[in-house]
Amino acid sequence: MEKQISKGLKIWLWFVIIMNGLSAISNVTKIGQNALGSIISIVLEAVLIYSCVLIMFQMKKFGFKLMCIAAGVNAVVSVLIVILAGVVAGAAMGSASAGIAGGLVGAVLVVIVAAICPLITYFLMKSQWDMFE
């Protein structure tokens, strides 16, 4: 009997692939505005897509681990960018502390968003965890 992932997990992974593909395309169009940030984002999107492919087609637990690593790196990079943007905006307004506070609120939101993809994937995988290599 051939191993198959659940329908819910398959739909979720296709959704993640499509959304990350669209995000990568969006970042390609922004490469002139912020080359380093766009390139980092494009690489992370590609890693997330590859991790979904590993889970869906090759039934590898490593795909989930790779997804977690990419989400963690994305969270760290995004937090640094959001805090830096808050500091710059605060300095421009004459209130660095207000900018830092705004940056910290944004950073918390970034961490929450970065954790959603691996969490949903885990909850959809956990009932079939032993099936994955």
Domain-located, residue 35: yes
In a domain, 76, yes or no: yes
The angle subtended at Cα 62 by Cα 23 and Cα 38, nearest 5°, is 25
* Residue 5 φ then ψ, to 5°: -80, 160
Residue 29, amino acid: T
Residue 116 domain flag: yes
Per-chain mean pLDDT for the chain: 83
Does residue 72 contact residue 117 with C-beta atoms inside 8 Å?
A: no
Domain assignment present for 1: no
Using the predicted structure, report yes or no on whether residue 120 has a pLDDT greater than 90.
Answer: yes
Average pLDDT estimate for 103-119: 78
Q: Which of 52-61, 96-105, 120-129 has the lowest mean pLDDT?
A: 96-105
pLDDT of residue 68: 95
* Structural domain that includes position 27: 7-131
The count of domains in the chain is 1
Residues 15-28 pLDDT 10s = 999 988 888 888 78
Whether 2 is covered by a domain: the verdict is no
